[in-house]
């Protein structure tokens, strides 16, 4: 019979007890350490990888009040509160041993012991120790992953009034368990904001599970979200928990919920109402405890009136509604995004001394950014890659896909304010000539100096 790889420490002032315990345990475990006094505990805990400690409760002759055992138990717990400590005690001290369990002991063994009971108690302690070890690794892994994700996603950027108001709302709702619907155009950072809410929530130590509902086929919807039992369909080779179970004590972020077909919306609604899921092929209802966040770029209220989205589901998911403003509605934040991504890509492509020309920066600030943050990120990366020498020029960005009419250009038709119209014309000329001051000034009938003055005037 092969032995289990483990180190068990036995402490008792009776040499016969130590010998008997060692002879019994060494048949099953690789390393048995025996000590007659607990005074060596500090050194042993720090130098040996101990799995289980078997600790006698009395060491002074004539005393059987167990105070020494309780003292050393508390001392061990203060060093490592996950240490598995099994007490050895006489029949008359059972009540004392039960009290010790309340203070952190795993179990107790009565002297004289039954070998089967002794081994069963040690085995149970070993199983708990292994479980604690796995949990510790999972927590460390989760922490490392969270740190990696935070590094990838970076901070929430923007000090504009619109973003300040948004973050004020985030601060209020993050600490609650309210369902939150995040709205915003493509590229505005809905997943980024969802992670920020999770990071600020009471579930921050738990997992953050992201599901892109738009990428799930109808056939995979229930299996991915609710899980399945082995054999429930052709490729179900093993039992598998769904995303609701995987997000236990954490956050489940259901992205692109507007893309969910109407027939699947009713299934999701039932789960949200009951707070229970049933795996495919299994009749058991499993309760789940996860914070729920949702997001969409769809005009979901309009879709409700058109019958494309269930109104009762919308009521369920948007206890609080947060809309991320597009970049064109917070131009004050563009420079901060430019600097943030510029620093990232300068490091990535080893161009530490690279700088933007003033014309390049003005072009970036004047751009409409229909792709929002994602577009500005890719644009800055392209500029860094295409740059030569130590400068990024306006022509390095290739910003040609400018909408013919942004929301601002509607001013041409319903607003006759001369200053506003002048600003629009300057922006259009800069877009058309990709930030080339000479060409834009010529088309506008201005000198270069006059155009520079207008760019400064309109903060372009």
What are the extents of the domains in the chain? 4-132, 161-325, 329-457
Q: At residue 21, does pLDDT exceed 80?
A: yes
Distances, alpha carbon 436 to alpha carbons 192, 304, 395, 449, in Å: 35, 46, 8, 13
The whole-angstrom separation of Cα 325 and Cα 167 is: 12
The whole-angstrom separation of Cα 9 and Cα 315 is: 59
Q: At residue 139, does pLDDT exceed 80?
A: no
Per residue in 308-341, pLDDT tens? 999 999 999 999 999 999 999 999 999 999 999 9
Residue 403 pLDDT: 46
Per residue in 170-223, pLDDT tens? 999 999 999 999 999 989 999 999 999 999 999 998 999 999 998 888 888 989
pTM of the complete model: 0.59
Q: At residue 457, does pLDDT exceed 90?
A: no
Find out whether 392 and 384 touch, Cβ atoms under 8 Å: yes
Structure confidence at residue 415 as a pLDDT band (50, 70, 90): low
The whole-angstrom separation of Cα 226 and Cα 216 is: 13
Average pLDDT, the chain: 86
Sheet holding 320-323, edge to edge: 208-212, 251-255, 291-296, 180-183, 320-323
Q: How many CB atoms lie within 10 A of CB 164?
A: 11
Q: At residue 246, does pLDDT exceed 80?
A: yes
* Region 270-294 average pLDDT: 91
Per residue in 258-272, pLDDT tens? 989 998 999 999 999
Residue 64 pLDDT: 63
* Region 401-406 average pLDDT: 44
Per residue in 58-108, pLDDT tens? 876 655 667 888 889 999 998 888 899 999 887 666 777 777 888 889 998
Let me know if the fold of 4-132 is the same as that of 161-325. yes
Residue 354 pLDDT: 93
Residue 409 pLDDT: 43
Q: Which CATH architecture has domain 4-132?
A: 3-Layer(aba) Sandwich (3.40)
Structure confidence at residue 125 as a pLDDT band (50, 70, 90): very high
Structure confidence at residue 410 as a pLDDT band (50, 70, 90): very low
Per residue in 338-390, pLDDT tens? 999 999 999 999 999 999 999 999 999 989 898 899 899 999 999 999 999 89
Residue 225 pLDDT: 92
Q: At residue 117, does pLDDT exceed 50?
A: yes
The percentage of the chain sitting over the pLDDT mark of 90, rounded to a whole number, equals 48
Residue 400 pLDDT: 56
| 398 vs 17, more confident | 17
Domain 329-457 has CATH 3.40.50.300: no
Range in 295-299, 309-313, 374-378, 445-449 the model is least confident about: 445-449
Domain 161-325 has CATH 3.40.50.300: yes
């Amino acid at each position: 019979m092969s032995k289990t790889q483990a180190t068990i420490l036995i402490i008792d002032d009776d040499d016969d007890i130590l010998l008997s315990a060692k002879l019994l345990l060494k048949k099953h475990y690789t390393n048995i350490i025996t000590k007659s006094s607990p005074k060596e505990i500090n050194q042993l805990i720090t130098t040996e990888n101990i799995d289980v400690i078997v600790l006698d409760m009395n060491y002074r002759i004539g005393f059987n009040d167990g105070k020494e055992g309780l003292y050393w138990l508390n001392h061990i717990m203060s060093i490592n509160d996950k240490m598995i400590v099994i007490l050895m005690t006489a029949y008359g001290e059972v009540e004392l041993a039960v009290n010790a369990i309340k203070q952190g002991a795993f179990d107790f063994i009565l002297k004289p012991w039954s070998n089967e009971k002794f081994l069963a108690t040690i085995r149970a302690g070993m199983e708990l120790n292994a479980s604690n070890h796995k949990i510790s690794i999972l927590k460390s892994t989760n922490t490392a992953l969270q740190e990696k994700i935070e590094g990838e996603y970076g901070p929430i950027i923007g000090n504009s009034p619109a973003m300040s108001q948004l973050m004020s709302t985030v601060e209020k709702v993050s600490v609650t368990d309210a369902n939150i619907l995040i709205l915003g155009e493509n590229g505005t950072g809905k997943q980024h904001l969802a992670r920020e809410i999770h990071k600020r929530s009471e579930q921050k130590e738990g997992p953050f599970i992201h599901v892109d509902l738009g990428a799930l086929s109808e056939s995979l919807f229930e299996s991915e979200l609710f899980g399945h039992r082995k054999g429930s369909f052709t490729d179900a080779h093993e039992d598998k928990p769904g995303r609701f179970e995987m997000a236990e004590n954490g956050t489940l972020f259901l992205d692109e919920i507007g893309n969910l077909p109407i027939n699947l919306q009713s299934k999701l609604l039932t789960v949200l109402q009951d707070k229970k899921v049933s795996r495919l092929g299994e009749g058991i209802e499993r309760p789940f405890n996860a914070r729920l966040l949702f997001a969409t770029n769809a005009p979901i209220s309009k879709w409700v009136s058109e019958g494309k989205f269930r109104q009762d589901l919308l009521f369920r998911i948007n206890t609080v509604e947060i809309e991320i403003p597009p970049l064109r509605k917070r131009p004050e934040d563009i420079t901060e995004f430019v600097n943030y991504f510029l620093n990232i890509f300068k490091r990535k492509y080893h161009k530490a001394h690279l700088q933007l020309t003033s014309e390049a920066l003005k072009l970036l600030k004047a751009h409409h950014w229909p792709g929002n943050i994602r577009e500005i990120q890719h644009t800055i990366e392209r500029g860094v890659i295409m740059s030569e020498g130590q400068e990024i020029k306006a022509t390095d960005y290739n910003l040609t896909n400018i909408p013919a009419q942004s929301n601002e250009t509607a001013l041409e038709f319903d607003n006759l304010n001369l200053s506003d119209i002048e600003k629009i014309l300057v922006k259009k000329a800069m877009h058309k000539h990709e930030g080339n001051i000479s060409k834009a000034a010529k088309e506008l009938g201005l000198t270069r100096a006059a155009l520079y003055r207008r760019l400064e005037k309109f903060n372009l």
